Amino acid sequence: YLYISIRKRRSFLMEISKPCVLFCAVCITLLISYISWHPASQLLLGSSDSTIHSEHKTEDRFFYGIMLDAGSTGTRIHIYKFSHTAAGLPHLEHETFKALKPGLSSYAENPGKCAAGVNNLLEIAKKEIPEHLHKSTPIVLKATAGLRLLPGNKAQRLLDEVTELFQGSPFLVEKDRVSIMDGTDEGIFAWITVNFLTGSFANRAIKHAGMLDLGGGSTQITFYPYEKDTFPSAPAGYISAHKLFNRSYTLYSHSYLGLGLMSARLAIMGGEEGTPLKPEEQLVTPCLTPGYVTDFHQAGITYEVKGQESDLPPFELCSQRIAKILDQHNIHKIPEVSKQSFYAFSYYFDRAVDAQLLDPEHGGSLKVKDFQTAAEKDLKKIPGENPFLCMDLAYITSLLEKLGFSKDKDLKLASKINEVETSWALGATFYNMNILNR
């Protein structure tokens, strides 16, 4: 009887234990799977394919855009790292910036040589962007006034060289991503950059700032008019409507081709774009120290220049010459600009630094008349490393006054805002990645 009882009890226990064993096996399997998957456990288990996938998943929170700015005096690469946000506006995590000289237009007679410098910039992008994101990262080159001023076939050959180089790169190359940018777009994209970086798109309490960009071959002005009188007084084509970050804006924007600092210099001295001097020929200008001789290099051409000798005050003669050049371009004077906040950059900033009017690291604010005061002071000096500084400062003064800025108007000058380069490149990157309409 005892033997039979023990056998029954054992049979009963075995029947109960079967589901328990199965349950424990499932739990152990799940635990091992969790440990293998959990990122923290990788420190214990060592690296594996799951580590790589986890890193990719983390890295894919970010996305990148590459913009090359092919200007008249150099080519610059902007590599932007963004992250997604719940608010809709992308967050700019970081910018990598590198510039090289000369500009693409300097290779107009030998376009094959332009590729080497651009390729060096691409190598920077390859190192900066994670390899698994290369094929999804768009790359764009936009050329500005330097190529706009070249004959069409010469400009196109340079663009074809860059296109071929891009197509051999690991990045995403879409149609028409190597092109000459319209001057008005250049101004609008720069305005987008400034107002994105100052926060006015994200915070409606912040008023939009205007933008002044002085390049080598052209200059742009763009702002959001708050006064109704500005619209009917603007010339045809200066006012345009845009949808930016799901809001509508009507902007005043215009680009003046030929009034960039280097093109204006050449015109002030009596030279012509793309036309070399004859042997023994000199350009003569009142905007250099009288009798002083130097060379000016523009788009691969060297011009010999001499300061004009005269009994009249040289600064007065220089200002008269500049006024004649500006009058040829029918500059529209805008009363509202003296009431708005404006950022000025590129050569506006560079020449202010050269004249020791600004700290090169932090920028600052200047009045328009500060440029003129510095120009008059510089003309009295013995020419040094920058013999054209007086001319440039006098030109900037006259240009700003022609646009409608009073001599007492304060301008904010900066090469960077929040550690990001002030240029059209960021705004153009948003446009080419179709972010503006999101």
pLDDT score recorded for residue 24: 56
7-11, 68-72, 394-398, 429-433 — which one is most confidently predicted on average?
Answer: 394-398
Does 304 participate in catalysis according to the annotation?
no
pLDDT score recorded for residue 53: 40
Residue with tokens 């009188």: 229
Q: Which residues have CB under 8 Å from 58's CB, separation 6+?
A: none
Question: Binding site: which residues?
Answer: 216-220
pLDDT score recorded for residue 170: 97
Amino acid type, 308: Q
pLDDT above 50 (res 37): no
230-275: per-residue pLDDT in tens?
999 999 999 999 999 888 999 999 999 999 999 999 999 999 888 8
pLDDT score recorded for residue 436: 60
pLDDT above 60 (res 16): no
pLDDT above 90 (res 383): no
| Conformation bin of residue 18: beta by default, left when phi > 0, alpha when psi is -120 to 50 | alpha
CATH topology of domain 62-181: Nucleotidyltransferase; domain 5 (3.30.420)
pLDDT score recorded for residue 268: 96
Measure the CA–CA gap between 232 and 337, rounded to whole angstroms: 15
The mean of the pLDDT values for the chain is 86
Q: Which of 31-45, 215-229, 270-284, 306-320 has the lowest mean pLDDT?
A: 31-45
Contact predicate 68/161, CB 8 Å: no
Residue with tokens 């040829």: 328
Contact predicate 288/388, CB 8 Å: yes
Residue 11 pLDDT class (50, 70, 90 cuts): low
Q: Which of 115-119, 148-152, 255-259, 323-327 has the lowest mean pLDDT?
A: 148-152
Superfamily covering domain 183-438: Exopolyphosphatase. Domain 2 (3.30.420.150)
pLDDT above 80 (res 134): yes
- Coil, helix or strand for 423? coil
pLDDT above 50 (res 46): no
pLDDT above 60 (res 294): yes
Measure the CA–CA gap between 186 and 141, rounded to whole angstroms: 13
- Coil, helix or strand for 303? strand
Contact predicate 352/358, CB 8 Å: yes
Measure the CA–CA gap between 383 and 227, rounded to whole angstroms: 45
Residue ranges per structural domain of the chain: 62-181, 183-438
pLDDT score recorded for residue 26: 52
Contact predicate 402/78, CB 8 Å: no
* Average pLDDT of span 299-316: 88
Question: Binding site for ATP: which residues?
Answer: 216-220
Catalytic residue, chosen from 109, 128, 161, 186, is 186
74-130: per-residue pLDDT in tens?
999 999 999 988 767 889 999 999 999 999 988 998 999 999 999 999 999 999 999
227-240: per-residue pLDDT in tens?
999 999 999 999 99
pLDDT above 90 (res 285): yes
DSSP string, 90-139: PEEEEEEEEEESS-GGGGTT-GGGHHHHHHHHHHHHHHHS-GGGGGGSBE
pLDDT above 80 (res 331): yes
pLDDT above 60 (res 372): yes
pLDDT score recorded for residue 31: 46
Measure the CA–CA gap between 260 and 195, rounded to whole angstroms: 23
| Radius of gyration from C-alpha coordinates of the chain | 31
